[in-house]
């Protein structure tokens, strides 16, 4: 009779969880937001505005004017674009917040798993967990003091 098979350990992968949360609409919103945050987007808009204004100022003749000053159509188009872009940015920010929540949850699970394993290994090795925790608290206090700028310089011996 052989040894009984143990179930394989399955640790949740962040990318697997995030892939389940991402749909077609999310990919489209992320793509638009990613492009809107580039200098190419800025240059294309600067070019578009320049051509629009030059054409509608009559540089190419009266027949090329379709939106005379004060450019009401351009203003409306830019306003609509701003509304949609701000919505896409908010959708992407919400997705980023969801990704951060998944990461925080997985980090917490990893920390708990590590702590449990450490305790079991420490007990197997005969390590006193109270003494270890006391040293951990001392190190954390020293680190907080250094971060706050209130740490005492090390004593020279």
| Predicted local distance difference test score (pLDDT) of residue 129 | 84
Is residue 80 in some structural domain? yes
Highest mean pLDDT among 40-44, 59-63, 149-153: 40-44
Instruction: Report yes or no on 15 lying in a domain.
Output: no
| Mean pLDDT score, 106-116 | 92
Residue 59 lies in a domain: yes
Number of domains in the chain: 1
At 16-48, the pLDDT tens digits run: 777 777 788 888 888 999 999 999 999 999 999
Calpha distance 98→118 (Å, rounded): 30
CA pair distance 34, 89, nearest whole angstrom: 9
What would the pLDDT profile of 68-103 be if each residue is shown by its tens digit? 999 999 999 999 999 999 999 998 899 889 889 999
Highest mean pLDDT range out of 12-16, 43-47, 134-138?
43-47
Which domain does 32 fall in, by range? 24-148
Angstrom distances, CA of residue 31 to CA of 34, 82, 104: 5, 16, 25
Q: Which helix (H) or strand (E) holds 95?
A: helix 72-125
Do the domain assignments include residue 88?
yes
Residue 106 near residue 14, CB atoms below 8 Å: yes
Q: How confident is the model at residue 154 (pLDDT cuts 50, 70, 90)?
A: low
Q: How many alpha carbons fall within 13 Å on the CB side of residue 85?
A: 11
Does 13 reside within a domain? Answer: no
Task: Report yes or no on whether pTM surpasses 0.95.
Answer: no
Helix axes 14-21, 72-125, angle to 10 degrees: 150
104 occurs within a structural domain: yes
- What are 153's two structure tokens? 């310089």
Q: Is residue 129 situated within a structural domain?
A: yes
């Amino acid at each position: 009779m052989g040894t009984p098979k143990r179930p394989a350990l399955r640790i949740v992968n962040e990318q697997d969880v995030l892939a389940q949360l991402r749909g077609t609409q999310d990919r489209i919103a992320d793509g638009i937001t990613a492009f809107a945050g580039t200098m190419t987007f800025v240059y294309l808009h600067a070019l578009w505005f320049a051509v629009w204004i030059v054409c509608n100022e009559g540089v190419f003749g009266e027949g090329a004017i379709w939106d005379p000053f004060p450019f009401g159509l351009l203003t409306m188009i830019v306003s609509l674009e701003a509304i949609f872009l701000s919505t896409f940015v908010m959708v992407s920010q919400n997705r980023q917040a969801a990704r951060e929540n998944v990461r925080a949850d997985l980090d917490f699970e990893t920390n708990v798993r590590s702590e449990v394993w450490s305790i079991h290994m420490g007990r197997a090795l005969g390590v006193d967990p109270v003494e270890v925790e006391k040293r951990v608290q001392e190190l954390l206090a020293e680190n907080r003091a250094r971060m706050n700028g209130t740490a005492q310089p090390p004593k020279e011996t």
